[in-house]
Each structure stands twice: as C-alpha cells, then as structure tokens.
Amino acid sequence: MDTSAPAPRTVLDRIGNTALLPLRRLGPRNGSRILLKLEDGNPTGSIKDRMALAMIEAAEADGRLQPGGRVVEYTGGSTGVSLALICAVKGYHLDIVSSDAFAAEKLAHMRALGAEVHVIASDQGRMTEKLTRDMIEAARVITADNGGVWTDQLNNTDQLQAYHTMADEIWAQTDGELDAFVQIVGTAASLRGTAERLRMYDDSIAVVAIEPAESAVLSGRPTGAHKIDGVGAGFVVPLWHDKVADAIELVSTEEATAMAVRLAQQEGLFAGTSTGANVLVALRMAERLPPNSTIVTVMCDTGMKYLSK
C-alpha cells in the first residue's frame, strides 16, 4: 500500500489527477491509440469540478468572496453540481439557475448538496440560444437582487488554470507522445485551457473542437436546437476565438447518443452524450492521422447523471 501521498483534508483534495485509459474494443485498426481522460473520477463525477474550484478559489483570493458569502451561477447542470459540492464544503450559499432541458439527476444532485435551484422552462426539453440567454438573465437578476459573487462561467477566465493543470496531467501520462486533442465545446474553457498548455509543450499537436450539428454556430451555421447536455450554447461563446482549435467537427445528437451507448456496452465506460461525441470524433481523427498516432479526448462525466434520459 502506497502511503507516500498525504491524506486528503477534504473531498476537494480529490479533484484532478484522473486516469487516462486506452480504448480497447472501440479502438482504430491502424495501430493508433485513443486515450480517454476519465473525468468521472472527480468527486461529483464530472470534469467541471476542476473549473468550479478554480473560480471559487480565485474569488476568495481577490476578496470578492468572503466567509459565509453567496455564489450565483447559470448552468446545464454539471457546473452547478460541482459548485454545490465546493460551496457545501466551504460554507457558501449557492443560487443555481438551470432548466428542465437538462437531466433531472443533475438538478436533484445540486439540491442534495444544498443549492437553491431556480428552473427555467425550455422548448420541449431542447437546448436553444434563447434558453441560454434566459438563464444568464435570471442569474443576473438574482445577483442584482441578493448580492453575491456571480461566477459567470461563459466569461470567467479564472477557470482556464484548471485546464492547464489537466493538460499537464495528460502530457505526463502520455510521456509527451500526443498527436491530437479532441473536446466538445460548451463554454470553450476546457478546450481552450487544455489546448493552450499542450501547445506550450508541442505546438504541432492538432486541436479539434466539436459542436452539435443541429446548432453549429462556431462553424458559421444558423443556431438551432439539440439535446447534447451542457454544450452548444446556440451562439459563439465569449471564451471561444478562431485560434482555439485547428478544426471543428460536427456531431448530431443521434450520433452522440449512439456512441455513448457503444462506449458503455463495448468498453464498460458509462458516460453522457458529450463524451459520445468526443469518442466519435477521436475515431474520425484516428482514420485521418498517420498510423500509430495518439489521440486524447475526455470522458466528461458519468452516465449516472443521465439515467432518466
């Protein structure tokens, strides 16, 4: 038994240092490797634990967030659950604006951790630009009425440091043998932060963004509605810029769902539709890159968050 690592003081010390696992049965046939960063290993089962902690710690460090203070955020669910965990540990009140468009498990998890959840009605359970903007406005009003720190994830650059750390982990785990990084875009923070740091190690690494085919605004197409949880805001998000990625791939809700099912049934990795999209595009990249390439992508969260869907 390894006793060299210090014992965690709180559950927050368990955020990060997640495993990197190769796909076996879904892997490409040309000798390339697809490695999946298992972010379901974080305490709430989501990559968002990283960025939520970074945003809260930054607000503490510069004095915006005082002991016993209030935090406000709009979210598709995973960021809200992560913030709820951190606020529970640190003793902050949390107001979350979310929607019935997102998995009921996420809303229940936020409430279980003590968050006050304000639910905005969606258009038939679909993610749209209007829904995103309605959630943002509701968070603004709550902050104006009650005070507190609005973490404002679509604009908050404090979270990028969390993904620099994830990139450091990926670089170490691959021994610097990495040809491409693939990630779907929500706020764009995870793709941008990870890509920034990986390119500092090797600027030849290909960075590929993914967005829902039904609402491919980053690709210059019209806004639309889709059902891939937590991504595809319906407009070009503030943290995105044209140099974030070398290419953009489109994946439909149907394709993402089908791959998430395959991932569970063939690899035993139970994840959401955003992960399904990531794996699908990683497989596409494996076919385009030279044989024996290494492609890293992300298992964004656990499928336990989506059982009702």
Per-residue pLDDT at 3: 52
Which pLDDT band holds residue 229 (cuts at 50, 70, 90)?
A: confident
Task: Indicate left, alpha or beta for 90 from its phi (over 0: left) and psi (-120 to 50: alpha).
Answer: alpha
Q: What is the pLDDT of residues 100-142, one digit of tens each?
A: 988 889 999 999 999 999 999 998 888 889 999 999 999 999 9
Scanning 128-236, the segments in alpha helix (DSSP H) are 129-146, 160-173, 189-201
Q: What is the pLDDT of residues 20-66, one digit of tens each?
A: 999 999 988 889 999 999 999 999 999 999 999 999 999 999 999 99
Average pLDDT value over all residues in the chain: 94
Catalytic residue among 48, 90, 227, 305: 48
- Degrees (nearest 5) of the Cα angle 119, 124, 126? 80
CB 211 within 8 A of CB 250: yes
Per-residue pLDDT at 27: 83
Global model pTM greater than 0.85: yes
pLDDT at 17 over 80: yes
Which pLDDT band holds residue 288 (cuts at 50, 70, 90)?
A: very high
- Verify whether residue 274 is a known catalytic residue: yes
Per-residue pLDDT at 5: 63
Per-residue pLDDT at 50: 98
Per-residue pLDDT at 127: 83
Give the bridge partners for 38, in sequence order.
Answer: 299
Q: Is the dihedral of CA 164, 170, 172, 177 positive or negative?
A: negative
Portion of the chain with pLDDT greater than 90, in percent = 87
Q: Which helix (H) or strand (E) holds 203?
A: none
Q: In what order do the strands lie in the sheet with 294-299?
A: 20-22, 33-38, 294-299, 180-184, 206-212, 247-251
Rg (CA), the chain: 18
Nearest Cα to 54, choosing from 65, 70, 45? Answer: 65
Q: Is the dihedral of CA 94, 97, 100, 106 positive or negative?
A: negative
d(CA 55, CA 60): 9
pLDDT at 299 over 50: yes
Per-residue pLDDT at 8: 75
Nearest Cα to 65, choosing from 152, 135, 151? Answer: 151
Catalytic residue among 46, 99, 122, 274: 274
d(CA 218, CA 290): 27
d(CA 154, CA 162): 15
d(CA 269, CA 239): 30
pLDDT, mean of residues 261-273: 97
Domains in the chain (CATH in brackets) are 11-41+157-306 (3.40.50.1100), 48-150 (3.40.50.1100)
Which pLDDT band holds residue 73 (cuts at 50, 70, 90)?
A: very high
Nearest Cα to 92, choosing from 102, 101, 83? Answer: 83
Which pLDDT band holds residue 255 (cuts at 50, 70, 90)?
A: very high
Nearby residues of 276 by Cβ (< 8 Å), 6 or more positions away: 251, 255, 256, 257, 258, 259, 260, 261, 262, 263
Which pLDDT band holds residue 1 (cuts at 50, 70, 90)?
A: very low
Portion of the chain with pLDDT greater than 70, in percent = 98
d(CA 191, CA 136): 22
Q: What is the pLDDT of residues 171-212, one digit of tens each?
A: 999 999 999 999 999 999 999 999 999 999 999 999 999 999
Task: Indicate left, alpha or beta for 91 from its phi (over 0: left) and psi (-120 to 50: alpha).
Answer: left
Residues in the chain: 309
Per-residue pLDDT at 306: 84
